Copies of this chain bind each other. A is one copy, B any other.
Amino acid sequence: MTHLDFWFDFGSSYSYPASQRIQAPAAASGVAVHYRPFMLGAIFKEQGWTTSPFNIYPAKGRYMWRDLARICDDLGLPLVQPSPFPQNSLLAARVATAVAGEPWAGDYCAQVFREAFGHGRSISDAEVIRAVVARFDGDAPRWLALAQTAEVKEKLRSETDTARVLGIFGAPSFITADGELFWGNDRLEAAIAWSSTR
């Protein structure tokens, strides 16, 4: 079974619909999804950006929220603009890194995105993340503690370095098993098609 790496940051707006859409078409095409959270802000910083380009360039930001509203409307997904935007996604990403080997890791990621963009909840709040983990595992505190270990912190830093080396400059990004990079929620279908036909 081939796979598709799904690179995302929990603060990334277009990663929200991608996270809600990816499972069904990937499964239908026999493509396993590998969830690869990383810290997009670290890559933005190297480009000289201290916040999202959607904040730096107001016309682009206004358009993004309108475009995202249309996309979510088409998908029947709720959308609340998080405040602040982007949210601090470090805790959510560390927990995702900690739970990466669990069968519910993908469901955790999808639920964090729903909390952030569907309900406008603060995903930097440990209580919010703990409640998400508790949906899938009886010992949420253990996973939150694991998320703060040096190993997990280093793993997340290393994943961000890997993303940069792979040429990733935004989220969501998809990389096929043969190394083809696709950027954007609107490239999900192309990435799955590429994966399933090669």
Contacts and interface: CB of A to CB of B under 8 A. Distances in A.
A61 to B, nearest CB: 9
Contact of A181 (B57, B63, B169, B187): B63
A168 interface: yes
A169 B58 CA distance: 9
A167 B57 contact: no
A183 B60 CA distance: 10
Interface residues of A, number: 20
A190 interface: yes
Interface string A168-188: 111000000000011110110
20 contacts: A47-B57, A57-B169, A59-B167, A59-B168, A59-B169, A60-B169, A60-B170, A62-B167, A63-B167, A63-B169, A63-B181, A63-B183, A66-B181, A67-B182, A67-B183, A67-B187, A70-B190, A184-B186, A186-B186, A186-B187
| The 8 residue pairs across chains A and B that have the minimum distance between CB atoms | A59-B169, A186-B186, A60-B169, A59-B167, A47-B57, A63-B183, A63-B181, A62-B167
